[in-house]
Amino acid sequence: MFLGIDLGTSGVKIAAVDERGRVAAQSSMALGVQRPHALWSEQDPEEWWRACVAAVRSLPSDVRRAVRGVGLSGQMHGAVLLDARDQVLRPAILWNDGRSEPQCHELELREPRSREITGNLAMPGFTAPKLLWVKEHEPGVFARTASVLLPKDYLRLRLTGEKISDMSDASGTLWLDVARRDWSDAMLSATGLCRGHMPSLVEGTEPAGTLRPQVAAALGLEEVMVAGGAGDNAASAAGIGVIAPGQSFLSLGTSGVLFIVTERFRPNAAAAAHAFCHALPHRWHQMSVMLSAASALDWAAGLCGYTDVRAAVAAAQEAGLGRATPLFLPYLSGERTPHNDPVARGVFFGLSAGTTGPDMIAAVLEGVAFAFADGMDTLLQGGGEMSEISVVGGASRLDHWLEIIAAALNRPLIRRSGGETGAALGAARLARIAVTAEEPRAVCATPAIERVFAPQQALMDLMERRRPQFTDLYRSLKTAFREFTS
């Protein structure tokens, strides 16, 4: 067995994968997010650790005894600040935290080559601006900061005692020279840090520590190797077999992602697209990111009185999309691609006395689909190519939503076996490569097709008429968003 541990925003997911590549056992433990102020989003790293331990220990004991290697994946960009004794100094600032917009401008002024080095715009979601915010607003904490780790790498520290990260996750810090796959001294200096604050770097398929004896015993595992692993999206790519240039996938999780593999570093920072290292050596990828995808559906379902999102989607399907369906901007936590606007907000537009809860759910499904279409346009303008798109993430089981997204993109979506386990499966595959030294293409095979969601012409025609209204709505409200949150 090879164990994949995925530290997500809403929970820790575990997948044990056997030698045939099948998921033999899985488990998960939920996590909460703290939002003590507007634009803030934080979690306690100790909660990550407790959830990780509980999730691993919930696997059958015979599965745990058979594990030969562990791989890690996790939510990107989060800032875990440690003192000289490796104690956490403050709650981790997460990827969807928007407080550091002023520091983004400051960072690019301090290092004018920032976009050239990192391939990315400075955005509040990235790690480096978060540290400038801490330096300005919590100088005592900054002064005591001896190390900065990403979320999954904090779990690695607890598991192995090692401070190590991988290239894909490190790409999301704004401290990595993404083309050279090495820390950038210039970007670190612009944040008041140096290499001494950073973990060492490995490829996702390389060894990156061994379980400490006491930890292995507590988890019911042998003292096995831990692989470099990956950020959640690169891990999902490995899990779905998206490893060759031109292959792509769509992730329908808490956030929404479109991901294309590239053979070289191909930045498109001006359009707020991301250019990161892949989890495999000599591979990179382009990515568009929306901050609220399945999380928007969860929110709307609760708002409309549904305790089960499947029931909410079924009701929306029965109500149907139409000209009278409200429009929805899914910017509940701001937005990245293509707007790079941390103060954007969610909006229902066109409500009437006849609007029902199912109508509002339908609007959310459509609004997220339109936001994916915005992201796809950005990637295509940057030289990416997409034909068919594999789909991963917990919401990939919602058939009606995939029909809507396929129509918005005018591309078939392919749901594959194990796609909902995505990042955890990919992390387990990376662990296998690290332990066995097998060729990545042999391990990261494309899973079997479960179903293809082809665009439906009537739905495409309707959404083609409505999308300009969606686009114009954001443009009309852009200034108002800033005034509302100021």
Active centre residues (catalytic): 232
Distance in angstroms (rounded) separating the CA atoms of residues 166 and 150: 10
Q: Tell me how far apart the 2 most distant CA atoms of the chain are, in Å.
A: 64
In this structure, the strands spanning 389-392 and 248-252 are: parallel
> DSSP characters for 449-471?
EEEEEPPPHHHHHHHHHHHHHHH
Those residues whose C-beta lies under 8 Å from the C-beta of residue 219, and which sit 6 or more positions away, are: 53, 56, 57, 64, 211
> DSSP characters for 158-216?
HHHS--EEEHHHHGGGT-EETTTTEE-HHHHHHTT--GGGSPEEE-TTSEEEE--HHHH
Distance in angstroms (rounded) separating the CA atoms of residues 53 and 334: 32
- Which among 203, 194, 153, 156 has a CA at the least distance from the CA of 175? 194
Query: Angle 232-240/422-436 helices, nearest 10 degrees?
Result: 80
Name residue, tokens 């009185």.
305
Q: Return the structure tokens found at 326.
A: 């409200």
Distance in angstroms (rounded) separating the CA atoms of residues 334 and 97: 9
Cβ atoms of 287 and 233 closer than 8 Å: yes
In this structure, the strands spanning 164-166 and 200-202 are: parallel
Distance in angstroms (rounded) separating the CA atoms of residues 406 and 391: 10
Q: Return the structure tokens found at 354.
A: 């006849």
User: Residues 185-216, buried b or exposed e (16+ Cβ, 10 A)?
Assistant: eebbebbebeeebbbebbbbbbebbbbeeebb
- Where do the DSSP E strands lie in 61-196? 69-74, 80-82, 92-93, 147-149, 164-166, 176-177, 182-183
Distance in angstroms (rounded) separating the CA atoms of residues 15 and 37: 35
Name residue, tokens 């809860």.
357
